[in-house]
Structure 1
Amino acid sequence: MNTLLACERARADEVMAGDLDRLADWLAEDLVYVHATGLRHDKAQLLAYLRTGPRFLAIDLLNPSVQVMSDCALVVGELEMRLQRNPEEQPVTVRSWVSEIWVRDMGDGAGWKLRLLQSTRQQSPVPG
């Protein structure tokens, strides 16, 4: 469990640092990344988006739950991100529910790779 959370933390740190070469090492070649906005990227598209997209100031996985099943793991929690969409705008904080599937990389022995990230924007509670 701690290994998977360390992988997720490292992935988030690479996004914030803008180190896309190191980030690419954490991503499976057949990655599917679905943003809370509904935007869908594969690995190449995600890396291109991050080159020109928003600047991430903070990324935190809150209340994570981890289930390891042999060479696959499910990580579920709340994703809180502070980001700046462009230099002219003030930073915003967004929260979403996130489900991630990590797979053990059997090819190069590098450990775990993110295969799927599905994010869903949180809704305000409906008044009773």
Structure 2
Amino acid sequence: MQSTRHPPAFPALLPDRAVPINRDELKGKLDDLLIKNADLKTKLEQTTRLAGEATILKDELDIAKEEALTATRSAAATEQWRRRAEEATELRQRCAQLEAENAAFIKRVEQLEQVYIIFCIYLSFYPSLP
């Protein structure tokens, strides 16, 4: 049985083939990659920090929205109580007005009763009057 051998994926890495290595070029590439890596780490740290700040700001926004909703509800309740207080004031004024009118009517009734009594006494002296 004959074994079939596949060609290697990276022929340049095979020991039987010599690849010229330029150490200075590789060192330069390594330095570039290390700088890029450091930049990426810095960007990752900044992004992570900004994501944390965004989460905090979102939480603060949620709290502010809830407080705004509570303030709106409180303002509506305050307005309702203000209207009720105005209505109560108007009712008190109307009640005072009706009490004054009632007192005037009672006084007028008393006056009419006195006139009636005088008229009845007058009629008792003159029974022949109609």
Shorter-chain TM range is: under 0.3
TM-score (norm 2): 0.16
- Of Structure 1 and Structure 2, the greater helix share is in 2
Structure number with greater Rg is 2
Structure showing greater relative contact order (alpha-carbon pairs closer than 8 Å, 6 or more residues apart): 1
